[in-house]
Structure 1
Amino acid sequence: MTHYPTDQRRRDLAAIHAAKRDLIMSDEAYRDILWSVARVRSAGDLDQAGRSKMLDHFRACGWKPVARVNEWAFIDKAAADRQPLLRKICAVCRSMKVGKAYAEGAARRQTGVERKLEMMDQGQLWILAGILDRTRQHKENAK
């Protein structure tokens, strides 16, 4: 296997598996394609050139990779007084490896009102930031 940045390898393998899923391939058909294109039975055995060949093959079959949407992009468009709290919430969620939906769910459980982060006022965001920070600390102490 050639030396290739680990994160790029991981992204390529994720894209290959996403293509398999999106093209609705059976495991047997997928392994046959791996063998016919790159002479391997597992995507993990592919080198950089093999991964590129596989991705090119899937694109030729009509697969189009879907761009990831940054769920936190709305923070830059929020009111200036709410941005610091939203950034805090984002940072805590990322440190816990959870998404925006987790934060909104925590707010819903606490207040009983279902509301998107974009629609919360500064007071609600302040309470949510505290809840999430305490949750993060609790999870870290439990390790």
Structure 2
Amino acid sequence: MAKRYPTDQRRRDLAAIHAAKRDLAMSDDTYRDILWAVARVKSSADLDQAGRSKVLDHLRACGWKPVKKANEWKFIDAAAPDRQPLLRKICMVCKSMGVGKAYAEGAAHRQTGIERKLEMMDEGQLWLLAGVLERTRKSKEQAK
């Protein structure tokens, strides 16, 4: 049985399994049949580390290839020169926490109530966002 509080690796594995299911356009019945045949479980939540590895190996054998994300931070080089240092700071903090651009945009949305891409934020909004992300990073490091 799986742990009650998933580890980061477990979360990544389960996300990869579900992405493979989506990318291979599997029906729910087919997906559950694979889980049963490969790991003798009815739900991916019940997979242990060995089971997750077996299922991922099987899905790769079925033709699934994990898609690498394009460089989501590439826009920084094209940004206005006065905003580039703040955008780089946000990028580095996000990378150190293991999150992406969408996380930063979500944090900005929660902070301001306005949904806006990082590219469209002014210097003041970026400054506030960098502070929020830095405090979040520090609190997560202290929690470890």
| Corresponding letter in the other structure for 1:53 | K
Residues in 1 aligned to 2:66 and 2:125: alpha-carbon distance in whole angstroms? 35
Percent identity over the alignment is 65
1:33 and 2:34 aligned:
yes
RMSD: 3.6
| 1:103 pairs with one of 116, 120, 134 | 116
| Corresponding letter in the other structure for 2:42 | R
What's the CA shift for 1:84? Answer: 2.5
Q: Which runs of 5+ in 1 are unaligned?
A: 105-115, 137-143
| Corresponding letter in the other structure for 2:55 | M
Q: Cα 1:28–1:2, aligned 2, differ >3 Å: closer, same or farther?
A: closer
**Residues 89, 128 of structure 1: 8 Å contact kept:** no
TM-score, L = length of structure 2 = 0.60
1:111 match: none
Q: Cα 1:97–1:126, aligned 2, differ >3 Å: closer, same or farther?
A: closer
Residues in 2 aligned to 1:28 and 1:103: alpha-carbon distance in whole angstroms? 39
| Corresponding letter in the other structure for 2:16 | A
| Corresponding letter in the other structure for 2:107 | S
Q: Which runs of 5+ in 2 are unaligned?
A: 94-103, 133-144
1:12 match: 13
TM-score, L = length of structure 1 = 0.61
Residues in 1 aligned to 2:46 and 2:58: alpha-carbon distance in whole angstroms? 17
- Structure possessing the higher radius of gyration over alpha carbons: 1
